[in-house]
Amino acid sequence: MDKIKMKTPLVEMDGDEMTRIIWKLIKDELILPFVELKAEYYDLGLKERDRTGDKVTEEAALAIKKYGVGVKCATITPNAQRMTEYGLREMWKSPNATIRGMLDGTVFRTPVTLDCIKPVVRTWRKPITIARHAYGDVYKASELRTAEGGLAELVFTGESGKTERLTVQKLGGPGLLQGMHNLEASVESFAHSCFKFALDTRQDLWFSAKDTISKVYDGAFKEIFERIFEDYREAFSRLGIEYFYTLIDDAVARVVRSEGGFIWALKNYDGDVMSDMVSTAFGSLAMMTSVLVSPDGCYEFEAAHGTVTKHYYRHLKGEKTSTNPVATIFAWSGALKKRGELDGLPALCAFADRLEKATLDTISGGTMTGDLAALIEGEKPRSVTTSDFIAAIAGKMK
Ligand code: NAP
Ligand code: MG
């Protein structure tokens, strides 16, 4: 059988622990036998990040900017315990944060859905994608708890020297204060990424905030989305998709009554909360894929879960684990499909579809990892190890 050829290299970012083991299995058994893989490899494993002073992460981000498409394995974000475990020189930043910062992107999370796994919400038939704005608001706020009453004010001193001053509240006793911000440019980038992704995936885009209460702050988000939508209006109507703004509480009610199949864009905090709600209601974190889309159209695909440390420690003791590789497989298929679209390689796109179908058919046929077996109602499916599951998919591909 002739292997499928590629044109432009894919930026491949290796990672840590259990997902690093899964990464190699996927490549060896599901990709390399079928595709003449052209990849530029970056090892974002913690040891290599430490050795290079985290330069390797920046280089990988630059490579995504250069080539346009990357696929990333889950990586450890160091904390105090990892400092000793790996003897690190520094507590390096989360690679995802570094890459997101350099690409200025928005993260879209989509569940992989299957007929045999019923979402908690019975009406949901198609996936719901959450787009979370990942800059500012309460995540970059200054907070104060006062010991006495007094006057709380909001003061802004412009670069021109001009100042603006607003009374927040005359506190009659000890109180709580919070000052937060966002940047017009960041909201604009967020809007561009959302409209681009909606066109890309041919789905309606919903955006929700609370502009009736927060007339200036949330009102600006609403206004910026409306203004930027004008650049995309024609393309939207050509594809027959819609942009739709509604208040966040109305959106929550509509989402629960919907049948899914759209993108829901949310401010930072709302997205944090709603993405966990939606992913749990769809079934399993191990089935959640994630793609970072930059406003200038670069894509980075990955699984939403982490390195599955608990399973890795069992693996190190020589136990066979049943860790679910589906989200990582879909990160690869998503990246290869996007590469195929950009380079005009229908055979590569078809291969990516075949890989996804083989994965879903394997599960529907009753062979799956333990986390999924636990979600299936009725007849008891076969719960297998990660390597047996991947071997079963490879068998279907051949
Ligand atoms: P995690 O790796 O997502 O795992 C948490 C738990 O979720 C696991 O113990 C497992 O539950 C279940 N799980 C997650 N993925 C699974 C899969 N593919 N198959 C089966 N079960 C799965 O989160 P964590 O343990 O909090 O974090 C571990 C490391 O990952 C940390 O060092 C963190 O910094 C990193 N992390 C990286 C990313 C990223 O690179 N994008 C994201 C999040 C976390 P059971 O143990 O009950 O089976
Ligand atoms: Mg959260």
pTM: 0.90
Residue 97: its pLDDT value, please?
A: 87
Query: Are residues 127 and 250 part of one domain?
Result: yes
Give the distance (Å) from ligand 1 centre to CA of residue 304. Answer: 9
180 contacts: CB under 8 Å, gap ≥ 6: 136, 137, 138, 140, 141, 142
Give the distance (Å) from ligand 2 centre to CA of residue 272. Answer: 4
Residue 34 confidence (pLDDT) above 90 = yes
The CATH number that applies at residue 125 is 3.40.718.10
**Tens of pLDDT along 90-99?**
999 999 989 9
Give the distance (Å) from ligand 2 centre to CA of residue 110. Answer: 15
Query: Are residues 232 and 157 part of one domain?
Result: no
Q: What φ, ψ does residue 126 adopt, rounded to 5°?
A: -125, 155
Residue 391 confidence (pLDDT) above 90 = yes
112 domain-assigned: no
Query: Are residues 134 and 275 part of one domain?
Result: yes
Query: Are residues 81 and 22 part of one domain?
Result: yes
Query: Are residues 152 and 123 part of one domain?
Result: no
Query: Are residues 305 and 234 part of one domain?
Result: no
Query: Are residues 93 and 197 part of one domain?
Result: no
Give the number of the ligand closest to the Cα of residue 275: 2
Give the distance (Å) from ligand 2 centre to CA of residue 277. Answer: 9
| CA distance linking residue 74 with residue 19, whole number of Å | 6
Residue 139: its pLDDT value, please?
A: 85
Query: Are residues 88 and 15 part of one domain?
Result: yes
Q: Which atom of ligand 1 is nearest to the CA of 370?
A: 20
Lowest average pLDDT, out of 28-32, 96-100, 207-211, goes to: 96-100
Give the residue-averaged pLDDT of 183-195. Answer: 95
Q: Which domain holds residue 325?
A: 1-106+291-398
392 domain-assigned: yes
227 domain-assigned: yes
Q: Whose CA is nearest to atom 46 of ligand 1?
A: 310
Q: Which atom of ligand 1 is nearest to the CA of 305?
A: 3
268 domain-assigned: yes
Residue 379 confidence (pLDDT) above 80 = no
- Tell me the CA distances in angstroms from 66 to 53, 106, 232, one per residue in order: 22, 18, 25
Question: Which of 251, 282, 313 is the C-terminal boundary of a domain?
Answer: 282
Question: Which of 282, 302, 320 is the C-terminal boundary of a domain?
Answer: 282
- Residue tagged 């997101």 (tokens): 100
Residue 356: its pLDDT value, please?
A: 97
Pocket test for ligand 1, best of 285, 313, 322 (most atoms within 8 A of CB): 285
Give the distance (Å) from ligand 2 centre to CA of residue 381. Answer: 31
Pocket test for ligand 1, best of 46, 100, 292, 308 (most atoms within 8 A of CB): 308
Query: Are residues 186 and 174 part of one domain?
Result: no
113 domain-assigned: no
Nearest partner of 251 among 263, 269, 237, judged by Cα = 263
Query: Are residues 123 and 66 part of one domain?
Result: no
**Tens of pLDDT along 36-74?**
999 999 999 999 999 999 999 999 999 999 999 999 999
Q: Whose CA is nearest to atom 38 of ligand 1?
A: 306
Question: Which of 128, 162, 178 is the C-terminal boundary of a domain?
Answer: 178
348 domain-assigned: yes
Query: Are residues 79 and 9 part of one domain?
Result: yes
Tally the domains of the chain. 3
Q: Specify whether the CB–CB gap between 91 and 320 falls below 8 A.
A: no
Query: Are residues 190 and 166 part of one domain?
Result: no
377 domain-assigned: yes
250 domain-assigned: yes
- Which residues sit with their C-beta closer than 6 Å to ligand 1? 74-77, 96, 285-286, 302, 305-310, 323-324, 371
Give the distance (Å) from ligand 2 centre to CA of residue 269. Answer: 9
